Structure 1
Amino acid sequence: MRLPTVPPTAGLPLQAADLRPWGSENFAQALAHWLGVAEVQLECSGTSALMVALRTLKARQPQRSEVIAPAYTCPLVALAVAQCGLHLRLCDLRADTLDMDSACLQALCSEQTLAVLPTHLCGRVADVAAAVLCARAMGAYVIEDAAQALGARINHQSVGLQGDIGFFSLAVGKGLSTFEGGVLISRDAELARALQDHSRRHTRPERWWELRRSVELLGYAALYRPQGLHLAYGKPLQKSLARGDWVEAAGDDFDDFIPQHTLGRWRQRVGARALQRLRDFQQQTQAQAMARMTKLESLGLEVLGDAASDAQGIWPVILIRMPDMPSRNALLKAQWASGCGLSLPFVHVLPDYGRYQHVLAFAQQDTVTQARDWAQRLVAVSNSPWLDSSRFGGLLQDLQQAIGSQNKSA
């Protein structure tokens, strides 16, 4: 009997009542209240939200042309920066956390820097304050990439408010999902109005894209179940891994084209209804993560927490750093296709994806040695409630065996 497929991240399942075609729920208003901010701006994706932010800032400082981001981040960041006519610079990471290295960031910041993008990767809260100091010294902006951190907080406030702009993603697997969707926030009222004005002038409804996303959302609601996931995620994953295509398996294969359109009213209503359950769901996954982190650490594994003090991250996955790349790869080759909840946040640092070289011309000279080490050793363990205690126990044994086998070979 085939075991149910575990999703790579802990997404909030939709309910039939969420899909009602009628209703008067105001998603933007409900989400603003949930986040504890005055207002939010809805976009069709997190990437589109980033592009709105970059183009708004570019209009304010047209003489600046560079954006600094971590070298280990989603390839969509590189594509978005390029589509905005800007140049990406890659910052190496610290040895002890997934944060950008301060010395490297200071060296990269210049009068050409438009924005710095500290990233709350996989729900872990980054130290934005260090990025703000470097950016402010050069008159640059800070955009918090909180695509994977909706609900994370620092000093009891939502992430995304320490910098000038913050954005979240509502894509599949990000917790709350409208299949695709994005959210912009800013504590600066004038900048918030500028973001809204740009979106009103340049973002239009697209019936085809909205129809497609609505059908995909219905499919997500139907198949995001322990059994349905084998069709939607498990079988495609197995085919990608059988071909040896880890980039496709991890979902890192993106087209250059990034749609930009308004978020439809029905999908907004679905999001508003699901939002009512999100806090309880995140509290449940946090409690599960805390218990499982202890067991992972008992094996001698390095489990990643939040870099920032007074931070309360969210837990779509539990990130662990394996002792070395061979042990990480051995674990993935043995277990990734089994649907037990193992995955990679991203396969490579950005310069190591051959397919994205055309948007990284200005970043080829940037040193990313420490970030590459992170990319070669990091693995994500799903924190979905569907990874039950029995299968998690089996995963612990697999991890112990991978570490032990590598120790013997060393």
Structure 2
Amino acid sequence: MNTFGKAFRITTFGESHGKAIGVTIDGCPAGVQFDLEEIQNELDRRKPGQSKITTQRKEADSVDVLSGVFEGVTTGTPIGLLIWNQDQRSKDYSHIKDVFRPSHADYTYHAKYGNRDYRGGGRSSARETAARVAGGAVAKQFLNSLGIKFNAYVSEVGDIKVSDDYTTLDFAEVEKNIVRCPDAEKAEAMIELIDQVRKDRDTIGGIVSCVISGVPAGLGEPVFDRLNAELGKAMLSINACKGFEYGSGFAGTKLRGSTHNDAFYADDAGKIRTKTNLSGGIQGGISNGEDIYFRTAFKPVATIMVDQDSIDKDGNEATVSGKGRHDPCVVPRAVPIVEAMSALTIADMVIRAKGNRLDQILDK
């Protein structure tokens, strides 16, 4: 499927080397202030060619608004956003027309469809995520009016990592360095490592963490559409994502229940809170009002600038030569994608939650 969400939905279209990519947003409420400059800012955070540690493909990623907006606000009808491709080099991929690149989607797309667009990976390319970021930017504008904020950042590259306690980090530092790490000292080490990996004609993986604040209690469905499950689905749909954990995650398996349980209390305003937040803001698949935080793991980019053994579509042995323009590490550009998919998930759940209680439906 090319559609994500149920009440707040996006459908993306386009390929890496096609004329354009785009997104249709359906279910966005009417009356949301539509800031095109802010949407462009989100796209600029994701776009290629922004630093020495990203792919050098040059795309302006300028967005055109086709529908769904009038006089600066959303109309409630489908919003159409289009991004033109401008810097394709399809000849860079002619050598893999009939050969399957190791750990890419070449073989699986061929097995599924019997045909594939080999230019830049076609639909399987991370180029498609620009459309998600555009859609997520609209979701963010809707959620900002509700006081819900998203802060994703690079928390790990290789064996270099920042503190696991996000409350000690300064999110204002994230956009001050090209790796998008909130720890300036660790950021320099990460940049140095990625640059060395690039010079070695290799790639490396990392982790993007995300904190969602201001989420009210009660979002999420009790069984199959649990909030944590929907967030996990959203993250695992991102290219190169290999893992998702929220709250204490896998580390929580080493604790006893007496240590892991989040005790409740009422704050001075009478709001129900938890003294700790090992649940990651989600209990029973439903938000509890605390910060939602999670970690998303990204593998090393599969395209490396050295020759690799493989086979062609007829089963003959072949050599895949490293060519083209690729990221030595995806995590710096994955930060706005993680935020976008988080925003789309929360926006969908916010709208769906309005139908859970009669008193909310009747609320004037």
- TM-score tier by shorter-chain length is under 0.3
Q: Whose RCO is larger (CA < 8 A, sep 6+)?
A: 1
**TM-score of the two chains, using structure 1 as the length reference:** 0.23
Higher helix fraction: Structure 1 or Structure 2? 1
Higher strand fraction: Structure 1 or Structure 2? 2
Q: Which has the greater radius of gyration?
A: 2
